[in-house]
Amino acid sequence: MKRRTFGLCAALLLVPVSSPLAGAPASQSTPTPAPVPTPTPTGRPASIVGSVTVGSSIETFGNNRIGCWRFKTDGGFSATHIKLYLSEIAAGSLRLALYSDDNGKPGAFLMGTEEIISPKAGWAAFALTASQPIAAGDYWLAVWSNAGFKTPCESGRGTGLLFDSEDGDWTKPLPAANGVSDCRVSLYAYCGAPAPVPTPVPPKPKK
């Protein structure tokens, strides 16, 4: 009798069976297929703090202004980036930041982003200078610009405060608010996906 051999993949698929009784046909159970995990939609991150909705109204900001908006989140992730939707290219520099909530107003500065000069229209991604753990609760997302910008928002659905700022230094306590915004801007913090690992290309066999 010739002995059959199997490759590695085929061997991993074999299902061991007990030795059959003499004269009885061997029986083999059908393996239960492993459940296929449901993929997470790639249109938006699974966990965020902020709003991914691009509203139909427009919020316009002048030079050296800081806008802060309060958002509630279930938390359970570490934020690495903040995204802001711009209606048009910004004329100057923009920076974003995360603040804690202090009884309905921005509290302690948590983390800021790198500065981007003249970001283009659409979703602009700003990398935080370090990852920031996000627990369940309220947070404030802040936007600073030295030359003004426009962003879509949902009128009547926001909780925002406006501040003057000459240098946009996040580490300093924010000055007293001198304006309010009831327009929920298109702005959210999230955990950016890691860079994809390239698939190794097998070497071509020599002829």
The pTM (predicted TM-score) of the whole model is 0.70
In the prediction, which pLDDT does 122 show? 95
CATH 2.60.120 fits 49-190, yes or no: yes
Please state the separation of Cα 184 from the chain's center in Å.
Answer: 18
E strands, 23-148, in order: 48-51, 57-61, 65-73, 77-86, 93-101, 106-112, 116-117, 122-134, 137-145
- The pLDDT tens digits for 5-38 are 333 222 233 333 344 444 444 445 555 555 544 4
What is the domain partition of the chain in residue ranges? 49-190
DSSP state of 64: T
Helix (H) or strand (E) holding 164: strand 149-164
pLDDT in tens, 148-206: 888 998 888 778 888 887 665 666 778 888 888 888 899 999 998 544 445 555 566 66
> Could you tell me the CA-to-CA distances from 9 to 14, 167, 200 in Å, in that order?
9, 62, 19
pLDDT tens by residue, 116-156: 999 999 999 999 999 999 999 999 999 988 888 889 988 88
Tell which residue, 25, 28, 9, has the closest CA to residue 17.
28
**The token pair that represents 168 in the structure block:** 């946009």
Query: Tell me, what's the pLDDT at 24?
Result: 44
Angle at 152 between CA 188 and CA 191, to 5 degrees: 15
Structure tokens at 55: 């509203």
